[in-house]
């Protein structure tokens, strides 16, 4: 239907749906819920902006007898009772809101023959401020409005979001139309998807904040488009002079990249984990862990058993050297014995110093492991895994590229 009407009215069209079908990436698109990846929307928008001059204006002329449209606000409606009035505004909006609650109501005057086709509301906090709740939570805080005339009753809810929604029932305005807060808790006759009152954690607001109604007065000369002329048994091809689908970026590349990332991480993560467990000492792993609190002052280091043994040997050697200096020349035999003992002590000391040197070399090798490419990749993957919900795995690919460049240098 969209393709047919684009051809009929001469409207430019970018057919992303057909692109997804032709490239068999419908399931890829379904991964991201209501909206596609921001990077895809951003690139499509850039291409439209860069090529805006090639978009043609439709030259087809039609004899269209338009309806009459009107916007009415509580300010130019009949108000019964007292109203709280708020002025929610930010960098994008500046609205006047009238609060419907128990004890007040509105009536629409001088609009006989019009129908209410849309409603503009913005349910605020109790004090009139814009909510700071996120979208998901704000959509569950709902206020209900009640519209009625002699023949119809309409009950509809909107949430703590600034919304313009349709009124589906064709309520014709006459002098008996009343607009009020649904203080009788009547069941909804219409639903709005961003007012999720059906969820168990939903909240019913004791008021409804109204901005305006959109009205339409049908034109008897207006002919509605006959949808039956649109063929349903054949594929509609878009006219070449309005088809701008060639501006779609290479979404297949993004799909392949996402699959590559998923598969690569699936293989890479266990291998790096095994490498870290096998090569790095527990002491070095502990040093890489983030500390929740600033470290306490280090206690005075206690000498290791090897250092104590070396100190003992040095003390004995010093004592023996003092003894030799005090020996009389007549004690040559005793001297020879002492020299042998000194030699033995020196050999023991030399061996212990070599052992200490070997320990220091091994420890330095362990520290140098931090500079290995595999270690850096492992640390980056651990960080990505901890921040997966913030796009950690996407950032990981770019971090791998950066680490690789630095490692080559």
Mean pLDDT for 258-287 is 64
Mean pLDDT for 246-252 is 88
The SS3 call for residue 75 is helix
* pLDDT at 171 (0 to 100): 87
Q: Kindly give the pairing relationship between strand 97-100 and strand 68-72.
A: unpaired
Q: Which helix (H) or strand (E) holds 177?
A: none
pLDDT (tens digit, 9 = 90+) per residue, 380-409?
888 877 776 666 667 777 788 888 778 777
* pLDDT at 83 (0 to 100): 97
If you write DSSP's letter for every residue of 30-46 in order, what string do you get? HTTTTS--HHHHHHHHH
Mean pLDDT for 229-258 is 87
The Cα 14–Cα 318 span in angstroms is 92
Of residues 325 and 233, the one with the higher pLDDT is 233
pLDDT-wise least confident of 130-139, 149-158, 304-313: 304-313
Q: What is the largest CA-CA distance in the chain?
A: 141
Entry pTM: 0.57
Rg (CA), the chain: 40
pLDDT-wise least confident of 24-38, 119-133, 160-174, 296-310: 296-310
The SS3 call for residue 192 is coil
Residue appearing with tokens 């050697």: 317
* Nearest one of 359, 365, 319 to 338, comparing CA atoms: 319
pLDDT (tens digit, 9 = 90+) per residue, 170-229?
888 877 789 999 999 999 999 999 999 999 999 999 999 999 999 999 898 988 888 899
Banded model confidence at residue 101, pLDDT cuts 50, 70, 90: very high
The SS3 call for residue 52 is helix
The packing angle between helices 373-386 and 392-408, to 10°, is 160
Please measure the distance between the N-terminal and C-terminal CA atoms of the chain and give it in whole angstroms: 58
Residues with Cβ within 8 Å of 352's Cβ and at least 6 positions away in sequence, in order, are: 306, 309, 310, 313
The SS3 call for residue 159 is strand
* Nearest one of 195, 97, 186, 189 to 143, comparing CA atoms: 195
**Residue 51 to residues 47, 55, 170, 175, Cα–Cα distance (Å):** 6, 7, 41, 52
Banded model confidence at residue 41, pLDDT cuts 50, 70, 90: confident
* pLDDT at 7 (0 to 100): 93
If you write DSSP's letter for every residue of 182-226 in order, what string do you get? -TT-PPPSS--TT--TTSTT-EE-S-EEEEEEEEEE--TT-----
């Amino acid at each position: 239907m969209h393709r047919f009407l684009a051809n009929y009215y001469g409207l430019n069209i970018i057919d992303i749906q057909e692109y997804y079908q032709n490239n068999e990436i419908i399931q890829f698109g379904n991964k991201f819920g209501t909206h596609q990846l921001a990077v895809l929307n951003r690139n499509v928008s850039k291409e439209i902006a860069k090529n805006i001059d090639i978009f043609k204006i439709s030259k087809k002329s039609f004899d269209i007898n338009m309806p009459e449209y009107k916007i009415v606000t509580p300010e130019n409606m009949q108000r019964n009772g007292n109203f709280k009035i708020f002025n929610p505004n930010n960098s994008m909006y500046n609205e006047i809101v009238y609060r419907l609650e128990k004890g007040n109501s509105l009536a629409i005057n001088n609009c006989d023959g019009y129908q209410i086709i849309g409603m503009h509301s913005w349910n605020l906090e109790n004090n009139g401020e814009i909510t700071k709740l996120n979208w998901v939570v704000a959509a569950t805080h709902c206020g209900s409005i009640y519209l009625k005339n002699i023949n119809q009753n309409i009950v509809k809810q909107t949430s703590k979001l600034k919304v313009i929604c349709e009124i589906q029932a064709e309520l014709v305005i006459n002098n008996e139309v009343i607009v009020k807060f649904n203080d009788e808790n009547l069941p909804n006759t219409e639903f709005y998807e961003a007012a999720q009152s059906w969820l168990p954690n939903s909240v019913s607001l004791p008021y409804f904040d109204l901005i305006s109604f959109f009205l339409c007065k049908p034109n008897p000369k207006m002919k509605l488009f006959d949808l039956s002329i649109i063929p349903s048994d054949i594929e509609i091809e878009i006219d070449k002079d309005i088809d701008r689908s060639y501006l779609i970026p290479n979404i297949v590349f993004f799909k392949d990249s996402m699959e590559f990332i998923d598969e690569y991480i699936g293989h890479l993560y266990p291998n790096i984990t095994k490498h870290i467990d096998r090569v790095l000492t527990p002491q070095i792993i502990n040093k890489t862990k983030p500390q929740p609190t600033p470290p306490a002052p280090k206690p005075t280091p206690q000498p290791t058993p090897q250092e104590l043994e070396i100190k003992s040997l040095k003390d004995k050697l010093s004592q023996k050297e003092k003894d030799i200096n005090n020996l009389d020349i007549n004690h040559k035999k005793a001297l020879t014995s002492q020299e042998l003992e000194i030699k033995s002590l020196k050999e023991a000391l030399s061996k212990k110093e070599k052992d200490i040197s070997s320990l220091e070399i091994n420890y330095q090798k362990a520290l140098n492991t931090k500079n290995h490419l595999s270690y850096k990749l492992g640390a980056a993957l651990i960080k990505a895994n901890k921040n997966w919900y913030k796009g950690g795995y996407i950032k990981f690919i770019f971090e791998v590229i950066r680490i690789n460049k630095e490692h080559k240098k």
